[in-house]
A and B are shown apart, each in its own frame.
Chain A
């Protein structure tokens, strides 16, 4: 697997951070890996990205946990949501220099060098 694709630094702060919520653990440019787990029910982490390594493109802000919202709970505490960039070549073995950006909640991410 190659180096995760580059992300361009953004000139502005994420617009949807919630005051008082836990600060995002990962910064733009950080290498992260999607956990291999599975939630018992509704989840918004696509299966094709489980176990894959990418790079944080931006912090989107704090959002309610969809795995709670789906069952009529309030989704609190809100969680940091990221856009993570993956190389097509890393996912499928080919794909030129093309990329996929997907939104992943923080509890699904671990550092790219985690054991």
Chain B
């Protein structure tokens, strides 16, 4: 059905699907790409790791998704004792649920009526990957990293989140060994839901703090 959708491209250079051909990746490798290939090949040649082990580790990281974090938040919403343990030692609380967070040192910060938390890493792109998977591209952008510490309310508004003036915004700059998980407020409309259903409304952006759950 090539023509039943909106077109914002012209019709030159179309591929067999009548969509534009994707540009070939003929640009030279970047310095970082060359370095990665060189180190990886050396590790294999010297027997430090096998190609299969490297592929398995990449697959393991790719398998991490925000669904893990959502399970943790849903548990915190339904079990006050667990929430207390999560706020005291986030990593230990995740392990308690069978979520292996490796060396991750997790600080969970709780949104309340009085406080809204948002996470940024101004130095690079520190992110709780073992709990939320890979960070979104915007999290690594200079605009997000610099503006979130300078004008957090305007940044949040651009994400569609207007924080009331009666609520304090707490920005967390992830500058060293801690990683952060925002525990959003449970929507009133989700009263009586079980953990699995609750986890379904906890998005990645809610756990970074640029959104709040909606029902």
Contact = CB atoms under 8 A, between A and B. Distances in A.
Interface string A57-82: 00011010010000000000000010
Given A44-B123, A98-B169, A99-B168, A15 B175 contact: no
A42 B203 CA distance: 34
Given A15-B88, A48-B122, A100 B105 contact: no
Contact of A102 (B150, B165, B169, B173): B173
A101 B173 contact: yes
A112 B150 CA distance: 23
Interface string A96-115: 11111111110000000000
A63 B105 CA distance: 11
Contacts of A45: 175
A50 interface: no
Contact of B175 (A11, A12, A97, A102): A102
Interface in B58-79: none
B171 A103 contact: no
Contacts of B204: none
B135 interface: no
A25 to B, nearest CB: 17
B149 A48 contact: yes
Nearest to B149: A100
A96 B151 CA distance: 10
Interface residues of A, number: 27
B158 interface: no
A63 B177 contact: yes
A46 interface: yes
B178 A98 contact: no
Contacts of A11: 88
B170 A104 contact: no
A44 B105 contact: no
B177 A103 contact: yes
Question: Which 9 pairs between the two chains have the least Cβ-Cβ distance?
Answer: A103-B176, A15-B89, A102-B173, A98-B169, A12-B88, A100-B171, A103-B175, A63-B177, A102-B175
Interface of B: 88-89, 91-92, 105, 107, 122-123, 149-150, 152-153, 165, 168-178
Given A81-B176, A81-B177, 15 more contacts: A12-B89, A44-B123, A45-B175, A48-B122, A61-B105, A91-B149, A96-B153, A98-B152, A99-B170, A100-B173, A102-B172, A102-B175, A103-B173, A103-B176, A103-B177
22 contacts: A12-B89, A16-B105, A44-B123, A45-B175, A48-B122, A48-B149, A60-B105, A60-B107, A60-B177, A61-B105, A63-B176, A83-B107, A96-B153, A99-B171, A101-B170, A101-B171, A101-B172, A103-B173, A103-B174, A103-B175, A103-B176, A103-B178
